């Protein structure tokens, strides 16, 4: 299976313009011409897959506490938009089911990053794939990419759904064994932090001969530099700026 990942991917939707990991952020990315988006998948206390980046709720809802300590109906009562701006008051935390329906509606591809709360690595991956198996057509698997910083979650994904495409995430402090892990997970893409990457490291990544994607790049000049180094694409909060500065929407 060959993935159809474009050069520009909307990070958490288009989160420079709308609250991250929400339906409105995903719609905004699609309206700007994005063909793919990236989102973070967590579990509610009652095992409903939802979109949320942080382990705690305070930054994006103003509520104190951990995501894993609230049932889905409690999370739905929270305001996930007011922190971003008054025009987004009463924006809801979406379920993954709602998100995948939007992805189908807008004909998007999606990078699902498994972002488990501590101790829920296996459960998060399992619940996510249980949902995907119910609503996603196998013929469209070239529009889904699974990633995670958690090796446990990624290994669970590989065990449950070995035929789904996986990408390896490399953080600011790269695992010296990243190449071995990429081979173990049969990673089809490699994602690295643009903030700390050097040209030498990018050249090292290129030796693996998988498409390279840098996160999170919001400046066209930075993107242009990485393109000159051989990087294939970018996760960005500002997909319109990267599109207009570098690429045609494809």
Report if residue 37 sits inside a domain.
Answer: yes
Query: Could you tell me if 146 and 114 are in contact, meaning their C-beta atoms sit under 8 angstroms apart?
Result: yes
Domain around 112:
8-55+95-246
pLDDT at residue 245 in the model: 79
Q: Does a structural domain hold residue 82?
A: no
Q: What is the pLDDT of residue 246?
A: 77
- Write out pLDDT tens, residues 193-239: 999 999 999 999 999 999 999 999 999 999 999 999 999 999 999 99
In this prediction, residue 244 carries a pLDDT of: 83
Residue 195's closest CA among 227, 217, 228?
Answer: 217
| Buried-state track 106-126, b at ≥16 Cβ within 10 A, e below 16 | eebbbbbbbbbbeebbbbbbb
pLDDT of 173 higher than 50: yes
Q: pLDDT tens, 107-145?
A: 999 999 999 999 999 999 999 999 999 999 888 899 999
Assigned domain for 192 exists:
yes
Provide, rounded to the nearest whole percent, the portion of the chain with pLDDT above 90: 93
pLDDT at 201: 97
Q: What residues does 41 pair with on adjacent strands?
A: 51, 114
CA distance 94 to 181: 32
pLDDT digits (tens, 9 = 90+) for 21-39: 999 999 999 999 999 999 9
CATH number at residue 197: 3.20.20.190
The answer to whether residues 36 and 6 touch, using CB atoms and an 8 Å cutoff, is yes
pLDDT value, residue 2? 77
How far is the C-alpha of 33 from the C-alpha of 45, rounded, in Å?
Answer: 35
Cβ–Cβ < 8 Å for 43, 124: yes
The two three-digit tokens of residue 176, written as one number: 């010296």
Tell me, yes or no, whether 73 lies in a domain: no
Q: Is the pLDDT of residue 250 over 80?
A: no
Would you say residue 230 lies in a domain? yes
User: 85 in a domain, yes or no?
Assistant: no
Rounded Cα distance between 126 and 128, Å, is 5
Q: Omega into 216 within 30° of 0, i.e. cis?
A: yes
pLDDT of residue 208: 94
Domain count for the chain, please give it: 1
Instruction: Give me the pLDDT at residue 249, please.
Output: 40
- Determine, yes or no, domain membership for 20: yes
Q: Strand 8-11 to strand 233-236: parallel, antiparallel, or no bridges (unpaired)?
A: parallel
* 44 falls within a domain: yes
Nearest-5° Cα angle at 235, 144 to 95: 50
Over residues 55-79, the mean pLDDT reads 98
């Amino acid at each position: 299976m060959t993935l159809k990942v474009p050069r520009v991917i909307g990070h958490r939707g288009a989160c420079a313009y709308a609250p991250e990991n929400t339906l409105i952020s995903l719609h905004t990315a699609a309206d700007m011409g994005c063909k793919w988006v990236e989102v973070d998948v967590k579990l509610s206390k009652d095992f409903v897959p939802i979109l949320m980046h942080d382990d705690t709720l305070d930054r994006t809802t103003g509520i104190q506490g951990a995501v894993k300590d609230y049932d889905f109906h409690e999370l739905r009562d929270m305001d996930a938009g007011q922190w971003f701006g008054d025009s987004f008051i009463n924006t809801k935390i979406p379920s993954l089911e709602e998100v995948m329906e939007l992805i189908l509606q807008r004909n998007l591809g999606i990078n699902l990053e498994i972002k488990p709360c501590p101790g829920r690595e296996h459960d998060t991956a399992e619940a996510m794939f249980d949902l995907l198996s119910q609503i996603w057509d196998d013929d469209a698997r070239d529009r889904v990419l699974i990633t995670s910083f958690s090796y446990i979650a990624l290994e669970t994904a590989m065990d449950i759904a070995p035929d789904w495409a996986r990408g390896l995430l490399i953080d600011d402090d790269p695992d010296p064994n990243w190449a071995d892990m990429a081979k173990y997970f049969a990673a089809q893409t490699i994602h690295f932090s643009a903030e700390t990457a050097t040209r030498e490291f990018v050249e090292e990544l290129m030796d693996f001969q998988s498409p390279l994607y840098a996160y999170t790049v919001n400046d066209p000049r930075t993107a242009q530099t990485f393109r000159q180094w051989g990087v294939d694409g970018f996760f960005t909060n500002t997909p319109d700026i990267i599109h207009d500065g570098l690429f045609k929407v494809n």
